[in-house]
Amino acid sequence: MRPISRIFSFLFFSFSRAVFLCAVFFLAALSSCGHKTPLSLEAFRPPQAPSNLMAVQRENVISLSWTYGGAEAVKDFIIEERIQKGISSGKGGPPENGKGREKEKASFRMIAKVKGGSYSQPVIFGQTYDFRVMAESTSGVIGGPAGIVVPALAPPPQPQGLGFSIGNEFVTLKWQNIGKWDGKKVFYNIYQSAPGGKSKKSKTLLNASPITQNTFDVAPNTGQVTVYSVSAQLGGPFLYEGKSSQVIVKPADFVPATPAAPTALKTAEGIRLIWNANPESWVSGYRIYRRIKTNGKWESAGFSSIPSYLDAGATSGDYRITAVGSVSESPFSVAIRIPPGK
């Protein structure tokens, strides 16, 4: 029996050694496949949960955003959703004080994987959406969730009667005040964009915080066509923003007021014209027109960026001026005549 036991001992030792060598080669192979450093347990540490998870509903689209401050390298963010149907109060609003009837509560299901810190999807008014966001490491390990529950509400209607007026310092936007919607106070956001900019990323929010008044002053943008949008929203823990109204302001809309009539002074250098400056901050200058004969043709004599002009060498003539915007000129001022002689 002793030789047989030796044979079994030899076979067991050989098998154990083979298993060990296979394990060593396997780990070495893994370490060389795209890993600059040997594998360790750190690679399988679960990522931290995302932080600052927020939700915004614009029209019928809910947008989630979050940040990630973990040290682990993240490959994707996993978004899961659970819809709570039939929770309603009034016009599709959330339950108040815990009231409301929950007809159905589904299980969480994965709906998306994204690379960045945001996600958007359409929703149905009257349903409540329970979202979870989790980070997945480059090793395929999924971390803990960050969660948020968002009732999908019918947002306020589109503001009506949006128009604008151009003043000396500002462009003033004005629209009809909605007041309240579903018993809640309505606020407004004002955006600026170039023509054709349909996405929210192409629009710049002009107000520091939502406003309640139905007017808003913006700095004039005289050099290009500008689209201004106004949308209504509900206050509360989430932003519910409805469809926006738009108005287009063009450079040609900036027409200066008629300048005051100039006064003239004959000097040794020529005729010096002086007049009061226009009140508009966006006036670029003044154009001076002259005619030699009383019934002659008016011609451009020059341009001045200040309310003064020297018509060098001139001794007589009729003069009138216009104020100039980026594109449009004002009506002519009252003409003055400087007769020949002293």
What was the pLDDT predicted at 89?
39
Nearest to 222 by CA among 326, 305, 323, 330: 326
What's this model's pTM, rounded to 2 decimal places?
0.71
Strands 239-241 and 51-58, by their bridges, are parallel
Collect all residues with Cβ–Cβ distance below 8 Å to 215 and sequence separation of at least 6: 172, 173, 174
* Closest listed residue to residue 139, CA positions, set 24, 46, 51: 46
Give the pLDDT of residue 17. 42
pLDDT tens per residue, the chain (342 residues)?
445 544 444 443 344 344 334 444 444 455 545 545 555 566 678 999 999 999 999 999 999 999 998 888 899 999 999 998 654 433 444 444 444 444 456 789 999 999 999 999 999 999 999 999 999 999 899 999 999 999 999 999 999 999 999 999 999 999 999 989 988 899 999 999 999 755 556 789 999 999 999 999 999 999 899 999 999 999 777 889 999 999 999 999 999 999 999 999 999 999 999 999 999 999 999 999 999 988 889 999 999 999 999 999 999 999 999 999 999 999 999 999 999 876
pLDDT of residue 294: 84
The residue extents of the domains of the chain are: 43-151, 163-253, 263-338
Domains 163-253 and 263-338 alike in fold: yes
| DSSP per-residue codes, 232-259 | EEE-SSSEEE-PPEEEEE-GGG--PPPP
CA 47-48-51 angle, to 5 degrees, is 140
Fold classification of 163-253 is Immunoglobulin-like (2.60.40)
User: Residue holding tokens 């009061």?
Assistant: 276
pLDDT in tens, 293-323: 888 899 999 999 999 999 999 999 999 999 9
Cα dist from 300 to 287, 291, 326, 328, whole Å: 7, 9, 18, 16
Q: State how far the alpha carbon of 324 is from the alpha carbons of 1, 114, 226, in Å.
A: 116, 52, 20
Fold of 263-338: Immunoglobulin-like (2.60.40)
Q: Which residues pair with 104 in a beta bridge?
A: 85
- Per-residue confidence (pLDDT) for residue 105, from 0 to 100: 60
What architecture does CATH give domain 43-151? Sandwich (2.60)
CA distances from 38 to 26, 29, 338 (A): 12, 10, 94
